[in-house]
């Protein structure tokens, strides 16, 4: 019997407008009525993750930044696994020659070392958010960023949980990824063709989800997980009760998951919940 549903956000729980549909919201509320847990597992930081949930009237535990931090429904931090300073230095050294755009996620929000003009150019040519929702206007995105220097980041003792490396040339990004694979103790994933998401090795969605389950006395076979991109693989490759890919998921995700649900525009999360948990045929 499923006791916990774990869902990715962008491309999964959220539609193209960056919202939780009324259909998905109703399915989550129905889980609550059955005392079945629901949580979000996302690459977003806490602030960006909680906003669309609050708008939909959903309060739940959240695995953020691919597993680097976990928060409960009231916003209390339950887990943190930042990158080490030595790892950050190594990542910067390997990426610096290729003029990448960095997104450093910290407790104080996101930081970048490019100029505002470079940032805007990356946004406008769809490099920064190639599959961005309609909610992602430049003005809304830029207000969430601090523009700074590498020197400040390295000397400020700031806690950095995740680094996104962004480049318009996907072949160049593949070369960067190959170099980064030599950095000890990190995990590399991707949520779009133009980015790499780097966290500590212990900061993956799957690792954080299993740790959360142990702490809440939930067995892997009692979990249903659903996602759409490479940064979901660490949980979709686990021996869970159900692992589900969205119809709009990448092919590698579809081949890794046990089942495929409808797309995020067709309320695929709700469809999976109803089909596998809420219907009479699914009970027990």
Query: Residue 282's CB: how many other CB atoms inside 10 A?
Result: 13
Tell me the pTM.
0.91
Tokens found for residue 35: 């005392």
Vertex 194, ends 188 and 200: CA angle to 5°? 20
Q: At what angle do helices 170-180 and 85-95 cross, to 10 degrees?
A: 140
Domain with CATH 3.40.50.1000 in the chain: 4-81+204-282
Residues whose CB is less than 8 angstroms from the CB of residue 44 and which lie 6 or more positions away in sequence, other chains included: 9, 10, 64, 65
CATH fit for domain 85-200, picks 3.90.870.10, 3.30.1240.10, 3.30.565.10, 3.40.50.170: 3.30.1240.10
Report domain 4-81+204-282's class. Answer: alpha beta
Show pLDDT as tens, one digit a residue, over the chain (284 residues). Answer: 999 999 999 999 999 999 999 999 999 999 999 999 999 999 999 999 999 999 999 999 999 999 999 999 999 999 999 999 999 999 999 998 898 999 999 988 899 998 888 888 888 777 776 555 555 678 888 888 999 999 998 888 899 999 999 998 999 999 999 999 999 999 999 888 899 999 999 999 999 999 999 999 999 999 999 999 999 999 999 999 999 999 999 999 999 999 999 999 999 999 999 999 998 766 54
- Residues of the chain within CATH 3.30.1240.10 domain(s) are 85-200
């Amino acid at each position: 019997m499923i006791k916990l549903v774990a869902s990715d956000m962008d491309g999964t729980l959220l539609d193209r407008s960056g919202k939780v549909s009324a259909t998905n919201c109703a399915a989550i509320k129905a889980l609550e009525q059955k005392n079945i847990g629901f949580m979000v597992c996302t690459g977003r930081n806490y602030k960006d993750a909680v906003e669309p949930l609050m708008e939909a009237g959903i309060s739940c535990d959240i695995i953020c930044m691919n597993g680097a931090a976990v928060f409960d429904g009231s916003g209390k931090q339950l887990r943190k696994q930042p990158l080490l300073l030595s790892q950050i230095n190594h990542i910067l050294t390997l990426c610096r020659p290729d003029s990448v755009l960095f997104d450093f996620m910290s407790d104080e929000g996101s930081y970048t070392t490019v100029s505002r003009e470079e940032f805007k150019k990356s946004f406008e040519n769809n490099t920064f958010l190639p599959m961005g929702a309609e909610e992602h206007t430049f003005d809304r995105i830029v207000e969430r960023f601090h523009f700074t220097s590498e020197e400040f980041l390295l000397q400020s003792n700031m806690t950095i949980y995740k680094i996104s490396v962004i480049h318009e040339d996907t072949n160049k990004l593949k070369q960067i990824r190959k170099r980064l694979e030599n950095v000890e103790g990190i995990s590399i994933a991707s949520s779009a063709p133009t980015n790499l998401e780097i966290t500590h090795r212990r900061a993956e969605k799957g690792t954080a989800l299993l740790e959360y389950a142990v702490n809440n006395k939930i067995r892997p076979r009692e979990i249903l997980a659903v996602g759409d991109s490479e940064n979901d693989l660490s949980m979709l490759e686990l021996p869970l009760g159900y692992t589900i890919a969205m119809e709009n998921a990448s092919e590698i995700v579809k081949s890794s998951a046990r089942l495929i649900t409808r797309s995020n525009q067709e309320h695929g999360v709700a469809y999976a919940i109803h089909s596998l948990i809420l219907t009479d045929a699914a009970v027990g």
